[in-house]
């Protein structure tokens, strides 16, 4: 009966509905193949996590958890088949999210500055964070300045919501996501589909096409893309546009209109409905806010919590990259 139900569901996608976008078609095909092959149990690969965060706002804890300083393997989970985003008009909303992210990619390509820093230099970034206590409504602003070693061989200066510390260089054979050194970033594909497959194959060499990807794979790819876009403000030419387009191909990415950025501008936001979580749960990623006409990236909206139990506080964070530069020494300002 389940196989028949899946076939009927696939048939009904095209009955009196708008044409499906590529992402939704891939999800439907995945559902059908899973129904034919039967349920399976697979091990989720180790979650990529961040050893150092370039910004407190960008590495904020979210309702699903906190980005930590070590790799974490959360064990096995039962594999579930893909399902379309739960919206009143899934095809339309998914297509709109893709349109915004393709527009953001086009804007980034047109306005990105080509840069080739030397290995002995540092990438300086200045980020502005506005944090509002959800209970009291009190808002505080922070300026975070970071200096990241280009080749990762030198210690870097990292700040989170006004607090700074020295981040040591990577140890031998130590890897992190997102990459902190320019040479590794330069090796990432600037074609969105190839970038997705490269991220998928970080944990498995079996993936040869997007049709092979499961919900678990897409979750991991989304996590990796968000980490890349949030925590690497300066990238090699072509990588950020590719990451935007790749994000638009992730099933579950959706559009949220009328979102305010840190400067009070109203834009459209992109967020993620994680299909691997129970209904009502909040996933990782926050909101990417874009201009509603040009699709210029305006900033992030995230949630951060502090404390436990009755003492826990929840904050809404709005942040944006104010400026960046290549400098010769740590703590040197442009």
Cβ atoms of residues 141 and 263 within 8 Å: no
Cβ atoms of residues 317 and 57 within 8 Å: yes
Helix (H/G/I), strand (E/B), else coil: 259? strand
Question: Which residue in this structure is represented by tokens 């546009």?
Answer: 241
Bridge partner residues of 166 (DSSP): 157
Q: Which residues of the chain have pLDDT under 50?
A: 1-20, 24-25, 27-95
- How far is it, in rounded angstroms, from Cα 30 to Cα 108? 32
286 phi and psi angles, rounded to 5 deg:
65, -150
pLDDT of residue 139: 97
- How far is it, in rounded angstroms, from Cα 281 to Cα 63? 9
- How far is it, in rounded angstroms, from Cα 176 to Cα 41? 27
Q: Is the pTM of this model over 0.85?
A: no
pLDDT of residue 112: 93
Q: How many helices (H) and strands (E) does the chain have?
A: 7, 11
Cβ atoms of residues 179 and 211 within 8 Å: no
- Residues above pLDDT 70, as percent of the chain: 68
């Amino acid at each position: 009966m389940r196989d028949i139900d899946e076939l009927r569901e696939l048939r009904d996608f095209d009955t009196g509905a708008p044409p499906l976008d590529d992402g939704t078609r891939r999800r439907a095909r995945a559902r059908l193949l899973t129904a034919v092959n039967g349920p399976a149990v697979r091990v989720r690969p180790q979650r990529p996590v961040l050893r150092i965060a370039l910004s407190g706002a960008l590495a904020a804890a979210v309702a699903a958890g906190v980005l930590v300083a070590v790799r974490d393997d959360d064990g096995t989970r039962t594999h579930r088949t893909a399902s379309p985003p739960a919206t009143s008009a899934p095809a339309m909303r998914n297509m709109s999210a893709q349109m915004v992210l393709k527009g953001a990619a086009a804007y980034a390509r047109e306005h990105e500055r080509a840069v080739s820093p030397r290995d002995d230099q540092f990438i300086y970034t200045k980020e502005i964070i506005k944090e509002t206590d959800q209970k009291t409504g009190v808002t505080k602003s922070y300026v975070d300045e970071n200096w990241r070693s280009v080749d990762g061989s030198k210690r870097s200066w990292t700040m989170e919501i006004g607090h700074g510390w020295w981040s040591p260089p990577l140890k031998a054979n130590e890897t992190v996501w997102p990459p902190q050194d320019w040479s590794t970033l330069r090796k990432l594909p600037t074609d969105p589909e190839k970038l997705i497959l490269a991220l998928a194959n970080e944990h498995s060499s079996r993936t040869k096409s997007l049709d092979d990807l499961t919900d678990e794979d897409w979750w991991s790819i989304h996590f990796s893309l968000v980490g890349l876009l949030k925590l690497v403000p300066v990238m090699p030419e072509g990588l950020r546009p590719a990451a935007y387009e790749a994000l638009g191909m992730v099933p579950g990415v959706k559009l949220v209109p009328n979102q305010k950025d840190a400067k009070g501008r109203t834009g459209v936001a992109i967020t993620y409905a994680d299909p691997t979580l129970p209904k009502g749960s909040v996933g990782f990623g926050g909101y990417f806010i874009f201009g509603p006409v040009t699709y210029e990236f305006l900033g992030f909206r995230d949630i951060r919590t502090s404390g436990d139990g009755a003492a826990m506080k929840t904050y809404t964070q709005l942040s944006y990259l104010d400026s960046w530069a290549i400098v010769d020494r740590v703590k040197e300002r442009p």
